[in-house]
Chain A
């Protein structure tokens, strides 16, 4: 057995070691040699302040009493950290940009730098965390009693022990936690000590775990077997249910909202990138920490005498095996987890109390800042922080004194989690919901807190106070619907689930409802944008809230009160702002004032910094409404000009379209004119000859029969030509307007082609040329009108014959099946189509070579190819002029083959 003196001496020596460690680290950091202290692993280790003595000792107790629930307490934070990219990263980015000093400061800053909200959050934090501190004190005294077995000897007084611990912790925290007022100047000494304690508690728990499981128990399987043999249930008694989910949710909330977690994870974070390591290393730390919890609990239950406190198995198991030194090491591990929680929690709470309660009151009620002297406000802050640390630990001690013997403390862990979880809805709204208003946040947090206090906090006294117990049985004034653990008649639920459900339900609904029904103030709107859009580029710019007619002399006066002369001077020099008496008329820029406000905020919180600056330059502040109006007008102008730009762009596009349409119309009009004049011309020539010959016939009576015969036949020929021309024009018109109907029937195009060649044979013989048949397709069934197709073939072949000017004229016709198409090539060996007509050859009245002096006088009307082209188009085919290696022109006709095999 260890003597109580030895145990206490060890604890004191350990605290001495922490002092030394913190002192050396602080000294190193002061020499700007903090490389090691700024490593991501130190950061990760310090986050493990999450694992307090409640998890160190209590996890085994929880495992013994309620199975695997202890794992939910670790897995909630695991989920938050593996999702760091979404919540934690944004939280840290915002807090760095806005110089946030605490969770109260965060909410206050987001909701328009409201000091009321900051006060509310601070009060909630103090009320929920003080019992938690008391719990740590109780854990330390109980563990000292357990490890030294002093209870039986009656040598040690719990109260004295707790008082000693509280005083020691207060001393440490005041010494290392209030060295400077700038919360953003991190507490390197404290963080180093916390990281060291994290290593100690992990090693202690693992050492005990390995000893119990492998040395005493003979391996994990044997431990479970022994538990089964002892009649214990090693499985979950009840299926996982709402309580598991609730604990998971609460622990996830807690790792974000607990003031000490916020302090370590966000405020003490020196580099956003450290989260990257913490995202896996912190869950890994907790994983290792909980590996041995369940086996230790089961082994303890199986071997320790009935009625032993399972919370102390970590200590009593090594002791019962005679390993007192291991027990002492385990005690130091538990002591580490308790002290690290006390230290960080009291720093975080003292910053909140001093920044959000003491300073605003001091600023409101003291008119003469002059009396404060240099660093006056800073000194006030430090004093406030030191006093509040002492007061908080005093409160914790008082709570311990009053409730220490009851069961109230044992449950306070989760109750405290449920209390700070009331901050989560407002925090999530602060980060992601732009429309959330101050009133909404205030009402939501208040509602949640009141319901929590009624359903969770109050019942925790139920076992110690008879009035509370009666209240819980009967309800207030006998109203059974308001019973704390069966609100609105919701009975049969686990009390924790019941409380968390109702408090978060009222919290969230109130937050949303009030936010939707109230409107944001101007400052709120600005801050909301800065918070929600923090990742958007350019959103970091602070709006200029204070009119630039403040002299720098006045500003320096304020800065000096908070930052001290040296730092204020450095700050002003950094921005090249003169501050001597000679330049009183120098006007500070709004940018500079905004920067100064942020610098002050990092010491005294955003709400206080805003109050302070506003107070000093009171006469010169533009009202925020005015700023917003200006901003609003600018925005309107920007939008309006953007609209104008868009409209004019549309106009330009419309004008362009109109121009194009106009050009097209002009072109069509010109084509029509051309067509008319062409037609007139074409009609006029035969008409002229008909007219003149008929006049001769009328006037000259003495013509001989031969001449008369000749004239009449000329008139006849010309009339035929005229009729053909008119027919073609009509035909063309009908084609263009789709009036001519025809029947597409399956036709063997080869037969049509043969017929067309036969028709043209005579024409060819007239010109003394021959039609060569190249390779021909066997048959090509297409859906078409045979007469029309024949018309096209004849037209193209006739053209090839008529325009062939070669000495030995030839026309060569080939056909083939190609890619589902029936293709006919009709080529001649003439001079070909001149380059300038290749593009227009299928237009109306285009006759290749017409320009060539007087050639081919009557050889066509210039409508044939155009008609053929149109017909082919109508039959889903193509008529095109293709290039040939040989001289001459080659027209290609393509028609899609009919799918189904046609009848023979």
Chain B
């Protein structure tokens, strides 16, 4: 079944785009997990390890978001026009007008 001539790995150049699209899931999922519907699942006046459950949940979501953003930002390819600031990039423009 497998193998219509493709290599086993992901097609180069496509992975970055897919990952970029996938980053949309982070804020959306984060927002969903922070909606009252979710939060109130954990806000029923109980304690875990001696700490209020809702506090632990919020910090957990927060930490997971930071971690995910860290991993994504390391893997996502840059498409910035130039690493140098704009002012320096200017010098790379073709001159010789007139």
Q: Do A and B bind each other?
A: yes
Question: Which of A75-83, A165-173, A860-868 contacts its partner?
Answer: A75-83
Q: Taking the complex as formed, is B35 at the interface, i.e. its CB lies under 8 A from any CB of chain A? A: yes
User: Taking the nearest CB of chain A, how far is it from the CB of B84, in angstroms?
Assistant: 8
Q: Is the interface of B mostly helix, strand, loop or mixed?
A: helix
User: Taking the nearest CB of chain A, how far is it from the CB of B45, in angstroms?
Assistant: 5
Given A224-B47, A287-B59, do A588 and B54 touch, yes or no (CB 8 Å)?
Answer: no
Interface residues of A in 548-592 (CB under 8 A from B): 574-578, 586-589, 591-592
Interface size class of A (residues with CB under 8 A): 35 or more
- The answer to whether A588 touches B98, judged by C-beta atoms less than 8 angstroms apart, is yes
A160 to B97, CA, bound (A): 59
Given A235-B54, A271-B80, A277-B73, do A586 and B86 touch, yes or no (CB 8 Å)?
Answer: no
- The answer to whether A224 touches B43, judged by C-beta atoms less than 8 angstroms apart, is no
Residues of A within 8 A of B98 (CB): 575-578, 586-589, 592
Interface residues of B in 41-73 (CB under 8 A from A): 43, 45, 47, 49-52, 54-55, 58-59, 62-63, 65-70, 72-73
User: Taking the nearest CB of chain A, how far is it from the CB of B48, in angstroms?
Assistant: 11
- The answer to whether B62 touches A78, judged by C-beta atoms less than 8 angstroms apart, is yes
Closest to B21 in A: A85
Question: Which of A237-245, A459-467, A731-739 contacts its partner?
Answer: A237-245
User: Taking the nearest CB of chain B, how far is it from the CB of A825, in angstroms?
Assistant: 35
Q: Taking the complex as formed, is B14 at the interface, i.e. its CB lies under 8 A from any CB of chain A? A: no
Contact with B along A844-885 (1 / 0, CB 8 A): 000000000000000000000000000000000000000000
Q: Taking the complex as formed, is A663 at the interface, i.e. its CB lies under 8 A from any CB of chain B? A: no
A23 to B42, CA, bound (A): 50
- The answer to whether A270 touches B73, judged by C-beta atoms less than 8 angstroms apart, is no
Closest to B88 in A: A270
A271 to B85, CA, bound (A): 6
- The answer to whether B43 touches A71, judged by C-beta atoms less than 8 angstroms apart, is no
Given A78-B62, A82-B69, do A225 and B45 touch, yes or no (CB 8 Å)?
Answer: no
Residues of B within 8 A of A79 (CB): 27, 30-31, 34, 65
- The answer to whether A280 touches B73, judged by C-beta atoms less than 8 angstroms apart, is yes
Residues of A within 8 A of B47 (CB): 224
User: Taking the nearest CB of chain B, how far is it from the CB of A537, in angstroms?
Assistant: 10
- The answer to whether A220 touches B50, judged by C-beta atoms less than 8 angstroms apart, is yes
- The answer to whether B49 touches A221, judged by C-beta atoms less than 8 angstroms apart, is yes
- The answer to whether B83 touches A273, judged by C-beta atoms less than 8 angstroms apart, is yes
Q: A96 is contacted by which of B30, B45, B86 (Cβ under 8 Å)?
A: B86
- The answer to whether A241 touches B36, judged by C-beta atoms less than 8 angstroms apart, is yes
A93 to B20, CA, bound (A): 16
Residues of B within 8 A of A78 (CB): 30, 62, 65-66
A734 to B95, CA, bound (A): 81
User: Taking the nearest CB of chain A, how far is it from the CB of B42, in angstroms?
Assistant: 9
A277 to B84, CA, bound (A): 16
A82 to B45, CA, bound (A): 30
User: Taking the nearest CB of chain B, how far is it from the CB of A248, in angstroms?
Assistant: 6
- The answer to whether A577 touches B97, judged by C-beta atoms less than 8 angstroms apart, is yes
Given A75-B62, A235-B43, do A68 and B68 touch, yes or no (CB 8 Å)?
Answer: no
Contact with B along A7-34 (1 / 0, CB 8 A): 0000000000000000000000000000
Q: A245 is contacted by which of B27, B36, B54 (Cβ under 8 Å)?
A: B36
Q: Taking the complex as formed, is B4 at the interface, i.e. its CB lies under 8 A from any CB of chain A? A: no
- The answer to whether A240 touches B40, judged by C-beta atoms less than 8 angstroms apart, is yes
Task: Point out which of B34, B68, B79, B84 has the most chain A C-beta atoms below 10 A from its C-beta.
Answer: B34
Q: Taking the complex as formed, is B18 at the interface, i.e. its CB lies under 8 A from any CB of chain A? A: no
A287 to B66, CA, bound (A): 9
A291 to B58, CA, bound (A): 11
Q: Taking the complex as formed, is B96 at the interface, i.e. its CB lies under 8 A from any CB of chain A? A: yes
Closest to A574 in B: B95
- The answer to whether B55 touches A294, judged by C-beta atoms less than 8 angstroms apart, is yes
User: Taking the nearest CB of chain A, how far is it from the CB of B25, in angstroms?
Assistant: 9
A715 to B84, CA, bound (A): 105
* 10 closest residue pairs by CB, A with B: A83-B27, A221-B50, A280-B69, A280-B70, A240-B36, A82-B69, A240-B39, A272-B80, A276-B73, A270-B85
